[in-house]
Structure 1
Amino acid sequence: MGEVDATFIQATEHSPKLVVVEADGIPLVEECEHYAQEGQTLAYKLMELISLSLGLPANRLNGFFEDQTSYVRLNHYLPCPIPHLALGIGRHNDSGALAILAQDDVGGLEVKQKTDGEWIEVKPICDIIQVWSNERYESVEHRAVVNFEKNRFSIPFFFNPAHYTMLEPLKELTNDQNPAKYKAYNWGKFLATRRRSNFQKHDVENIQVSHFRLSEKSS
């Protein structure tokens, strides 16, 4: 595993306003807060488009984010002389609703193709959208690779619902022919478990959205 320095800007759990609560040593606090607010605005627009693509009213998902748990993370990936033997962040799926990524021109975000297992560059879908859409959208496994000689910087904005949200396929998208593929789970408890495990990845046992997937027989 390579090295990555990360700093968080977290939303308060009972307010849609994003504030810096864990950003010691970051001199550009106001800029970071502005970035978070712009990320939130874009995220709402994207959620409306996703809702429309599923045949739902544009504002169908907005209520889940009235008391959001969104955050921004500032990533600094250090260069590695043997990049093919190291990763900045190992393979994983983002557990929230949306991840909006700004990165420099070094690049390094890769996702795994389901067909042949090859890693390619593409923008990710997160776990919650997979659950809400009952797998009409699929979350993608992805990773961040390091560069041989250049530092890499990225600023992901993670758009997450309220901590008390119960996540399950939307009723409008399930029926007898297409039953729910996931049982309901609490987002706050899920996120707390992920944090206690330090967001460990697929190659180490950890809570995943797949743990809540119903078997074909039970569904």
Structure 2
Amino acid sequence: MNRSGEVCQEYTQEMVKLAYKLMELVALSLGLPADRFHGFFKDQTSYIRLNHYNPYPSPSPHLALGLGIHQDSGVLTILNKDDVGGLEVKRKTDGEWVRVKSTPDAYIINIGDTTQVWTNDEYESVEHRVVVNSERERFSIAFFLHASSYTMVEPLEELTSEQNPAKNRAYSWGKFIAHKKWSDFQKLSVENVQISHLTDFRISK
């Protein structure tokens, strides 16, 4: 393995450690044992992605998307980026797109759909996109924490009750990922296959 491969492997290992810590904080915030989520990652399917966005000189550069509208399907995403802005999140109150401010030496953490389901909507994933810059190229490294492929994703029993019933039905993480990858080579009616596209996924709003 060359040095660049070693660096990526070392970086991924450190991201896994950080992601575990973040999930421990999520668990504690919900009154659960810190290690409540650890069992879902025995054979995790996590990975990193290196992103490069070319500049796009245009009369309307804010309309040029480097990455289309989507929600992260996994557990959480840890984003390391340069000082060139571009990430935007959709505000749920009015549907407006809000630019995420670039903070030096800081990560951006996105909650994924899997965590939203596990926590029975106590934590929510949000729609986001990346808009390219008209003058400067942009680089980022995204680490995606994913559960084991054989995981059945469903609201945790401790977070559901008669007064707070499950808001989403269980689904197979492995089957969803397989369907998502298959969809990359198909012409579908949706731009990016999401958990919400699963049949009868949502029980209540």
Equivalent of 1:145, from 124, 127, 131? 131
Q: Distance in 2 between matches of 1:34 and 1:113?
A: 35
Judged with a 3 Å threshold, the aligned counterparts in structure 2 of structure 1 residues 151 and 199 are, in CA distance, closer, same or farther, namely: farther
Displacement of 1:180: 0.5
AA aligned to 2:115 is I
Q: Distance in 1 between matches of 2:18 and 2:95?
A: 31
**How many pairs are equivalent?**
191
Displacement of 1:192: 1.1
2:64 aligned partner: 86
Displacement of 1:209: 2.1
Displacement of 1:171: 0.2
Verify the 8 A CA contact 1:131 1:168 in the aligned structure 2: yes
Matched, 1:136 2:125: no
Matched, 1:172 2:184: no
Matched, 1:96 2:86: no
AA aligned to 2:45 is T
Task: Name which of structure 1's ranges 45-54 and 120-129 shifts more when overlaid on structure 2.
Answer: 120-129
RCO higher in 1 or 2 (8 Å CA, sep ≥ 6)?
2
Gap regions ≥5 residues in structure 1: 1-19, 21-25
1:29 aligned partner: 5
Equivalent of 1:158, from 128, 144, 148? 144
Gap regions ≥5 residues in structure 2: 101-107
Displacement of 1:27: 6.6
2:203 aligned partner: 214
Displacement of 1:203: 7.4
Structure 1 length as normaliser, TM-score?
0.82
Equivalent of 2:21, from 45, 52, 59? 45
Task: Name which of structure 1's ranges 115-124 and 95-104 shifts more when overlaid on structure 2.
Answer: 115-124
Task: Name which of structure 1's ranges 62-71 and 111-120 shifts more when overlaid on structure 2.
Answer: 111-120
**SS of residue in 1 equivalent to 2:111:** coil
Q: State the 4+ residue runs in structure 1 displaced beyond 3 angstroms.
A: none
1:16 aligned partner: none
**SS of residue in 1 equivalent to 2:150:** coil
Matched, 1:74 2:50: yes
Q: Distance in 1 between matches of 2:67 and 2:96?
A: 17
Alignment RMSD, CA only?
2.1
**Sequence identity, in percent?**
63
AA aligned to 1:51 is A
Displacement of 1:104: 0.5
Displacement of 1:193: 1.0
Q: Distance in 1 between matches of 2:185 and 2:92?
A: 23
Displacement of 1:84: 2.1
Structure 2 length as normaliser, TM-score?
0.87
Q: Distance in 2 between matches of 1:205 and 1:103?
A: 25
Displacement of 1:43: 0.2
Q: Distance in 2 between matches of 1:104 and 1:186?
A: 35
